[in-house]
């Protein structure tokens, strides 16, 4: 059973070297091949040192090969079960696994496994057997369904930043029409990787350090989508 609370600060804060596997001060690759400082040094993060495998008690080869998105999805499903008001076995006595759907997806997939696949293919020539499957957007929902023994519809709609909303929409209509009696629904992403920061920065989509300095704001005030001074979004990780 997942813990109800976590030590550490959850939210947007300054990146610490090593959290995402790179130093933000030397992470930006320029068009001439040289590197320079990444103009974004903050992100929405889980607490420093947060280890999903340790917190949730995940053990065994299945969890060892999981990408961060899949781990978060399974963790989220376990949290939902902990709030049922009954044990999982008691719930299954009332609702058949065939009538419990899984509508869990990721807007991109597992960034960490995508990077591993690319680096393994082009740099060191080593690719682990599970890396391709773990990189796909629908793998997280597959893990949730298999681990919980669900036999209902397993669907993973993908709609970029709207993926979580689409998952809820599909689950709602499946229950409303009687196709399912219950469902796990949600969206997860883990974008704290170098490729994510580089890609969104190239698209000029991110709030940068200079924007905060200009407005006298702290990193935890960077995400302000409905403010007239907004200048982009903040990369993060999480879901629900």
Q: What is the pLDDT of residues 61-113, one digit of tens each?
A: 777 778 888 988 998 898 899 899 999 999 999 999 999 999 999 998 888 88
Contact 113, 193 (CB under 8 A): no
Q: What is the pLDDT of residues 47-65, one digit of tens each?
A: 655 566 665 566 677 777 7
3-state secondary structure of 34: coil
Determine the Cα–Cα distance for residues 100 and 12; give it in Å rounded to an integer.
Answer: 35
Give the global pTM.
0.81
Contact 239, 188 (CB under 8 A): yes
The residues, ordered by sequence, that sit 6+ positions from 179 with a Cβ below 8 Å of its Cβ are 101, 153
Q: Phi-psi region for residue 200, left (φ > 0), alpha (ψ -120 to 50) or beta?
A: alpha
pLDDT of residue 45: 76
CA torsion 199→204→206→210, rounded to 10°?
Answer: 130
Q: What is the pLDDT of residues 161-212, one digit of tens each?
A: 899 999 999 999 999 999 999 999 999 998 888 788 888 888 999 888 888 8
Q: Which residues of 20-49 are buried (b: 16+ CB within 10 A; e: fewer)?
A: bebbbeebbeeeeeeeeebebbbbbbbeee
Q: What is the pLDDT of residues 2-43, one digit of tens each?
A: 333 334 444 566 665 444 444 555 555 544 455 566 788 788
pLDDT of residue 116: 81
Tokens of 187: 């969206």
DSSP summary character for residue 236:
B
Determine the Cα–Cα distance for residues 133 and 225; give it in Å rounded to an integer.
Answer: 34
């Amino acid at each position: 059973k997942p813990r109800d609370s976590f030590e550490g600060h959850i939210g947007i804060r300054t990146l610490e070297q090593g959290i995402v596997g790179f130093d933000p001060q030397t992470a930006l690759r320029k068009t001439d091949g040289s590197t320079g400082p990444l103009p974004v040094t903050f992100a929405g993060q889980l607490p420093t040192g947060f280890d999903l495998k340790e917190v949730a008690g995940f053990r065994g080869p299945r969890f060892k090969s999981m990408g961060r998105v899949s781990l978060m999805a399974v963790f989220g499903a376990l949290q939902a079960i902990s709030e049922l008001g009954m044990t999982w076995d008691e719930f299954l006595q009332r609702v058949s696994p065939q009538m419990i759907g899984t509508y869990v997806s990721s807007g991109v997939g597992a960034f960490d496994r995508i990077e591993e696949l690319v680096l393994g293919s082009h740099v060191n020539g080593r690719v682990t057997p599970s890396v391709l499957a773990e990189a796909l957007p629908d793998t997280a929902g597959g893990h949730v369904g298999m681990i919980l023994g669900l036999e209902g519809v397993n669907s993973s709609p993908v709609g970029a930043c709207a993926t979580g909303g689409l998952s809820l929409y599909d689950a709602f209509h499946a229950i409303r029409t009687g196709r399912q009696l219950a469902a796990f629904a949600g969206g997860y992403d883990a974008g704290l990787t170098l490729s994510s920061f580089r890609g969104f920065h190239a698209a000029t989509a991110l709030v940068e350090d200079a924007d905060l300095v200009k407005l006298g704001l702290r990193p935890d005030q960077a995400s302000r989508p409905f403010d007239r001074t907004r200048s982009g979004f903040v990369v993060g990780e999480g879901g629900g």
